[in-house]
Amino acid sequence: MRREQLEEYTRQGRWVRSAMYLRKSRAEEHMSLEDTLRRHKAALMAYAERYGYQVEPENIYEEVVSGESLFARPQMLRLMEAVSAGKYEAVLCMDMQRLGRGGMYDQGFILDTFKASETLIVTPDRLYDLTKELDEEAAEMQTFLSRSEYRMITKRLHRGTLQSVQNGGYMANAPFGYRKIRINKLPSLEIVPEEAECVRQIFQLYAAGNGCTRIEQAVNAMGYHGRRGSRFNRNTIRLILDNPVYIGKIRWEKTSTIKTGIGADRRKQVVYNPPERWKIIDGHHPAIISQELWDAVQSRRKSRYFYVDNKHVASPLAGLVHCSKCGHLMNLQGKNKGVPYLLCPTKGCSAGAKYEFVEQAVLRQLETMAHNLEVEVAQNVPPDVSALESSLSRMKAQQVRLEERRSRLYSLLEDGTYSRTVFSERMQVLAQEEAALKEHVASLEGDIRLELSRNKEKQLAQLRTVLERYQSSSLSGRKELLRSVVSDILYTKEKKTKPADFTLSIELKDFV
C-alpha cells in the first residue's frame, strides 16, 4: 500500500489490513515488560481505531526477549516473513527504533523488506511510505540516530561497569560462599557462613595433600551442596580453588565475547583470554580464606598441572584418562593425517590433544611427584589429616543434632502436636538422613586410616620403578607400569585454545 491508496481507503471508509509490533526499549527499564507492552498496545489500538487500521489479535507481535540483533528476536522474524509475503498493508509500532536499531545489515534488511512489499510503517508521530524518497530518507535517518543512541548507551554501560570494577565492585553473579549486596550503591558481596565453611574445607583439604576427587567425596559426605541442591564434582572443586574472589580479589576480563557469521548465522562466542590479559583488582568484599592458604594451594596446583597433548593406538594410558568435565574416559582416535589424538566422547566437551604430548606430560608430572615424595620421606613428615579430622568432627556433631531431632519428635508426638501419621513420616526422613550420615562417617574414617597407614616409601619405590623401566618397555608393559602406580588422570582442555593448553591431574595409588 502507498500513501495514495491509504488516502483512498480513508475517503471510502475502508479498514487497512494491519499488524502491530510491540517491544520494550532501554528507556523503559524502570517498567516491567508486561506493563510496557500493555500500555503500548492500548495506545496503538486507540490510534488504529481512530484512523482506520484493522489489527486482529493474531496479528499482534509481542517481543518478550531482548536482543540487539534482528536474528535474536523471533517475533520480528515472524513479522518480516509475513510482510515479505504481502500479508499486511501497514504495520503499527510506537516508533522506528522498536523495529530495530542493530547493525547496518539488520536496518537495511528491515527497510528493504517494507519497501519491496510496499507495506507502510505507522507510528503515532509519523507514517512512512518507503516507496517515497522523503519517507525513505526520514526512516534511514531515524534508524541511524537510533543506532548512534544505542552505541552511546552501550558505551556508557560498559564504562560504568568498568568503573565499578576498578572501584572494587563485584558485577558478576555471586560465587559459592557469597551473596550479592550493595555498599554505598556499589555492588559487592557478603559472606554466607554455611557456604564459606565449605569453601574453607575445600582449600584446607587440598593444601593438606588431598586431590579433587577425594575433596569432592568429602564435601558431599559432609552434606554440602550447590545453590540448586546439586552435588559437588571435581570440576566445581577446581573452579573454587582457582578463583581469587576468596581472598578478596576480583578477576575481570577472563573471557571476551566475539561475533561470528552474518545474517541468520550470526553468533556470539565466548573465548578465554590468556592470563596476562586478566585484571586482578582488590575488591570491597571480605576474604573467606587467608593469603597464606591461597598461596599454598596455588603452589601445589602448579606442581601438579602440566600443559600437554595426548593420543596413540594401543595407548599405555588406556582406561586411565578421564575428561574432567563429563567424567567419561577419553578415546584414542587417529586423526589429522594419521596423528593419534585423545578425544572426549561427549560432543562439545573438552577439546582433544595429541597423545604424544600427553604421555610426555604424564611422565614429567610423575617425576615431579617422585621428587616431592623423596623430600617427604627424607624429612620423615607425618601425614597431615587435620582437615579430614575436622570434617569428621563436623559430621559427628551433625549426628548429635539428628539424635536431638529424634528426641524432639517423640516430645511432639507425646504432647499431641504431631499425629502418628506425621510422626511416622518425619521419623522415616530422619532415619534416612541418619543412615546416609553414618555411611559418610564410616567412609571418612576409612580415608583417615588409609592416609595414616599410607607407605610413602613403597609409593616412591614403585614410582622410581615405573620411571626407570618405562622407555625400554613394550606398549603393554608401559600400560602395566602406569596402572601399578596411577589411580586416575583427569584431563581438561577448552575449545579454541593452543595445542598444548590443557591440564592433567594425576592421582597416585595408595600403598600400605
Q: Residue 272's beta-bridge partner residues?
A: 255
Single-letter amino acid code for the residue at 91: V
The CATH code of domain 3-161 reads: 3.40.50.1390
In the prediction, which pLDDT does 335 show? 46
Residues in the chain: 512
Per-residue pLDDT of the chain (512 residues; tens, 9 = 90+): 888 888 888 888 899 999 999 988 655 566 677 888 889 999 999 999 999 999 999 999 988 766 666 666 788 888 999 999 999 999 999 988 778 766 677 778 888 999 999 999 999 989 999 999 999 998 888 877 777 776 776 777 778 777 888 888 888 888 999 999 988 888 999 999 999 999 999 999 999 888 887 888 888 888 888 877 778 887 788 889 999 999 999 988 887 776 665 554 555 666 777 878 888 889 989 999 999 999 999 988 876 543 333 333 357 888 889 998 888 888 777 644 467 888 887 777 888 888 888 998 999 999 998 888 888 778 776 667 788 788 888 888 888 888 888 888 888 888 888 888 888 888 888 888 888 888 888 888 877 766 665 667 878 888 888 898 888 888 878 888 898 889 899 999 888 888 888 899 998 887 65
Structural domain spans, the chain: 3-161, 178-303, 306-381+457-508, 386-453
> Measured in whole angstroms, how far is the alpha carbon of residue 98 from the centre of its chain?
31
Domain 178-303 has CATH 3.40.1360.10: no
Cell numbers placing 345:
566422547
HEC assignment per residue over 376-400:
HHHHCCCCCCHHHHHHHHHHHHHHH
**127-128, strands of its sheet edge to edge:** 53-62, 16-22, 90-92, 120-122, 127-128
Pairing of strands 90-92, 16-22: parallel
Domains 3-161 and 178-303 share a fold: no
Rounded Cα–Cα distance for residues 110 and 119 (Å): 11
Cβ–Cβ contacts within 10 Å for residue 370, how many? 19
Mind giving me the DSSP string for 61-84?
A: EE--S--SSGGG-HHHHHHHHHHH
CB atoms within 10 A of CB 201: 20
Rounded Cα–Cα distance for residues 353 and 342 (Å): 6
311 Cβ contact list (under 8 Å, min separation 6)? 332, 333, 334, 339, 340, 341, 342, 343, 352, 353, 354, 355, 356, 358
User: Can you give the pLDDT at residue 163?
Assistant: 81
CA distance 94 to 109: 20
pLDDT for the residue 512: 56
How many CA within 13 A on the CB side of residue 202? 30
Nearest CA among 47, 146, 143, 161 for reference residue 93: 47
**What pLDDT does residue 67 have?**
60
Among 389, 505, 385, smallest CA distance to 451 is for 385
Give, as one character, the DSSP assignment of residue 26.
Answer: G
Cell 581469587, located at residue: 244
Distance of CA 468 to the CA centre of its chain: 43
Integer Cα distance of 324 and 344 in angstroms: 10
Task: Write down the pLDDT at residue 308.
Answer: 35
Three-class DSSP category at 151: helix
- Answer positive or negative: Cα dihedral of 218, 223, 226, 231: positive
- Whether the CA torsion 71, 76, 79, 80 is positive or negative: it is negative
Task: Please tell me the distance from the alpha carbon of residue 267 to that of residue 256, in angstroms, as a whole number.
Answer: 14
Residue with cell 568498568: 162
Backbone φ and ψ for 330, nearest 5 degrees, come out as -75, 140
Q: Please check whether residue 368 is in contact with residue 351, taking contact to mean a CB–CB distance below 8 angstroms.
A: no
Q: Which three cell numbers stand for residue 150?
A: 544505542
* Rounded Cα distance, 312 and 309, in Å: 11
Q: Which of 205, 210, 214, 213 is nearest to 327 (CA)?
A: 213
